[in-house]
Amino acid sequence: MHPYRESHSQSRKCPTDRVFVNRSLSLDTIKYYGFDMDYTLAEYRTPYMEAETAKYAFERLVEMGYPKELANTKFLPDFAVRGLIFDKKLGNFLKLDLHGLVLTACRGTRKLTRRQIRDEYPTKFCKLFELLQEGENRFLQLFDTLFDTPKIFVVSTIIDWLEKSPNYAKTESGYFDNSTSSLLTYSTVWSDVLAAFDTVHMKGPLHNNIMRHPDLFIDRNPHLPRLLEYLQSCDRKVFLLTNSPYKFTDVVMKYLLDDLTGKKWTDYFDYVIVRACKPRFFKEGTPFRHINKTTGSANIGTHQADVMIQGEVYSGGNCDLFCQLTGAEGPDILYFGDHIYGDVVRSKKTNGWKTFLVVPELKHDLDVWTRETKLFERHHQLERQLGEFQLGQGGQDKEVIRKLDQERKTIVDEIDARYNPYFGSIFRKGGRLSCFANQMDKYADVYASTINNIVNYSLSHQFWSPPKLLPHEATVAQQPE
């Protein structure tokens, strides 16, 4: 047994060390293991990373004309969660279920009541296909990455300020400034915030600070070198596929790997691609170029090669070219990433890669799930009682049903508060799965809180997915023979 697997073999029964299965997967068939970098190999320090990102974004927004007081905003670490959707018409952040029904909503950092949600969304329904539209016509904006949570906080803080400001009058689509006769729509707020964050991430002080002091922003994973060595020792090909530029990638990966072992970080990978431009990489892609590691810049022109060379670094390209140069095929590849759309959905739908979604929030979710046993048991009991009424087994006393349903809603709110006081669990509300959980279920073959968990299983392990029953199968008893 490899020493890394041996050192982790006793932790299999711990829920946070497990890999959870949506679709059966045999590791014996996986020949290529691919990794995203940000929030996958590089575990950013939460909430410090988010707080610093928001701080620099506020500073940029002040430069753009927003009030100076925003720069002094204190970050709320327990506010934003990923998987939310911003309604650019009405200015609300929404958590939707898999059908597009509104589960929870906030205007700024103020949580809307059930009555307020019904007033703003009479059918409680949002058209999820709007998320697929491009350009100005799309009024729903999805926030599905860990990089998005500071954006949610910043937009919400601006809306809070507009709600309280005596200079702005609320309109149907935003706020009107009587002193300047200007309308600030929710869509404009979002556009301004997006521009501020683009500056912060691409060329602002945050980017430079991470490169100067990676130890302040990134938790070094002491198991990472041995994990990658373990995969290579088992004759698996290992590759890095990241959207980050080379110079930033080089600093982060040196911090994660070089300082721990003395080996060059590129030695841990058979292939390295930076500036991959996912999810575009999984379709038409971008020009494939070779990186000059001395200058950190890509060579001019499209790189012409029959193979990819270990130790070299490449930029761009696309999935088809990568498979052609490496000999990989879609089902041979298991790709680890945290971005449900950029890393998981496109690689699965377009190219048939096997997918491992990294969900750091799972640790907290499992803690609540295993700790709040009495609340969950009472909720299950109420759901069962209401189900019996539906089947006509408990009579049709409307007052009894009303009281049971009211208690169920109260329990659901209590459970939500244990996860997050504003939006609850990223996976569900009561018995209803969130849109995020539905995407994870559809496109992630397996998921876990960290990449480390894969080494708790042999590379010949067969992951079996649990059976999923339809309502008529779950509620109708089968007759014994």
Q: How far apart are the first and last CA of the chain?
A: 47
- Six-digit token pair at 346? 């496109």
The secondary structure of residue 21, as a DSSP letter, is E
Q: Residues 453, 457, 462, CA angle at the centre, nearest 5°?
A: 120
Longest dimension (CA), the chain: 80
Residue 36 annotated among the catalytic residues of the structure: yes
Binning the chain into helix, strand and coil, the percentages to the nearest 5 are: 45, 20, 35
Q: How far is CA 67 from CA 151, 192, 205, 422, in A?
A: 17, 13, 20, 26
> Are the C-beta atoms of 189 and 151 separated by less than 8 Å?
no
- Rounded Cα distance between 3 and 356, Å, is 23
Write 127-135 long-range contacts (CB < 8 A, 24+): 127/100, 128/96, 128/99, 128/100, 128/435, 131/85
CB 230 within 8 A of CB 259: no
Q: Are strands 140-143 and 110-111 parallel, antiparallel or unpaired?
A: unpaired
Residue 191's identity, in one-letter code, is S
Query: What does the block give as tokens for 264?
Result: 């060059």
Tokens of 143: 């926030």
Q: How many residues does the chain have?
A: 481
**Using CA atoms, how far apart are residues 96 and 104, in angstroms rounded to an integer?**
7
β partners of residue 140: 87
Going by the DSSP 8-state scheme, the letter that residue 257 receives in this structure is I
Active site residue 38: yes
Q: Where are the alpha helices (DSSP H) in 391-427?
A: 398-419
Sheet holding 182-185, edge to edge: 168-170, 174-177, 182-185
Single out the catalytic residue among 17, 28, 36, 235. 36
Residue from 38, 343, 365, 445 carrying the catalytic annotation: 38
Q: Active-site residue numbers?
A: 36, 38
